[in-house]
Amino acid sequence: MNMTSRVSRLRDERVTLAHGGGGKAMCDLIEEVFTDVFDPPGMEDQARLTDAALREAGTRLAFTTDSFVVTPVEFPGGDIGKIAVCGTVNDLVVGGAVPLWLSASFIIEEGCEIALLRRIVGSMAREAKAAGVRIVTGDTKVVGRGSADQVFVTTSGIGVIPAGRDMRAESVEPGDIAIVNGVLGDHGAAILAARGDLALSTEIESDCQSLGHLMEAVLKAAPGVKASRDATRGGLASALNEIAEAADVTVEIDETALPLREEVKGMCEILGLDPLYLANEGTLVLFVPPDQTEATLEAMRSTEAGRGAVAVGRARDKGPVPVTMRTAFGGERIVDMLVGEQLPRIC
């Protein structure tokens, strides 16, 4: 039974502790705000999963989990629901998996507006549909005022890695080309501006998006992709350091090739931030052999998420540091792993 065929039983405007007590109020909240929105409706405590891909010889399962505590929970370009789906989908995608199923768990603060929950869950349902995944099980808990910040979301994801696909950082070799699918730092800049603490006026939106369709297009055109990382917390700099350390190479990037909006660069200059460390939620970096660079770029640019794809550097023999950058002035500087927290609670 769906929402269009019955009268709503949920009359409250805000969540109360009764909505987490296991009784009628909880059932009404779960059914009308959560399970009736996801497809298919009527989820249970466990999901029984089957897919034709699981029966193919040589396939492997990929599993990931993540928690989301972003503040504000709604921001230009997305909300905590959209980022929860995108973040978990992308964690599967960068390992070469085809995402299939998600779980979603909600910790809700007493007093949270039910209208806000409806918007968040609706956003999750739309993004899951766009990404080609199903939200198949979940959980809700209600905590007292001051024990959370409106709502926290935890998602887990399961995908299938097709036979013969093996993407890992250790595979990167000197000469491999580093490619990103679009502009850098938009999510971190959007969250910073949305908090309103610094009276910044900008129209920057988060790059929050699922990257499954982009990755499948790339792997079809360039099956030699070596490794990939989504450049989330710690930004591009941290993602490149992780890959370089695992592969025992040095990665050299070109400052003039980095795709950055002028607004993001200006904000970073004002605040003393480095855009290489700003978080992204719809940007990945991958490494391909030189002879597959053009095919990769063409495949990326054929998708909405990869319109701004560009090569930003290459791997070379291991040097004194994992990542360096050729500056616009012709010099070279170290690009280290992020130390400390540049901007907390961005995802």
pLDDT value at position 6? 55
Domains and CATH numbers, the chain: 10-161 (3.30.1330.10), 169-334 (3.90.650.10)
Distance CA 283, CA 239 (A): 11
pLDDT at 36: 86
Q: Which of 144, 140, 156 is nearest to 30 (CA)?
A: 140
81-136 pLDDT tens trace: 999 999 999 999 999 999 999 999 999 999 999 999 999 999 999 999 999 999 99
The answer for 150, left when phi > 0, alpha when psi is -120 to 50, beta otherwise, is: left
CA–CA distances in Å: residue 190 to residues 38, 78, 167, 170, 174:
28, 10, 31, 33, 35
Lowest mean pLDDT among 61-70, 155-164, 332-341: 332-341
pLDDT at 341 over 80: no
User: CA 258, CA 286: separation in Å to the nearest integer?
Assistant: 14
Helix (H, G, I), strand (E, B) or coil at 12: coil
**Closest residue by Cα to residue 178 from 136, 140, 229:** 229
Indicate the pTM of the whole model.
Answer: 0.93
Report the SS3 class of residue 159. Answer: strand
Chain centroid to CA 120: 16
Q: Compute the chain's Rg from CA coordinates.
A: 21
Count of other CB atoms within 10 angstroms of residue 66: 17
d(CA 169, CA 200): 38
Examine the pLDDT at 31 and tell me if it is beyond 70.
Answer: yes
Calculated CA dihedral for residues 32, 35, 36, 41, nearest 10 degrees? -160
Q: How many CB atoms lie within 10 A of CB 65?
A: 12
Check: CB of residue 201 under 8 Å from CB of residue 95: no
Side chain identity at residue 149, one-letter code: D
CA angle 45, 50, 54 (to 5 degrees): 135
pLDDT per residue as tens digits for the range 199-208: 677 789 999 9
CA distance 50 to 181: 32
| pLDDT over 60 (residue 75) | yes
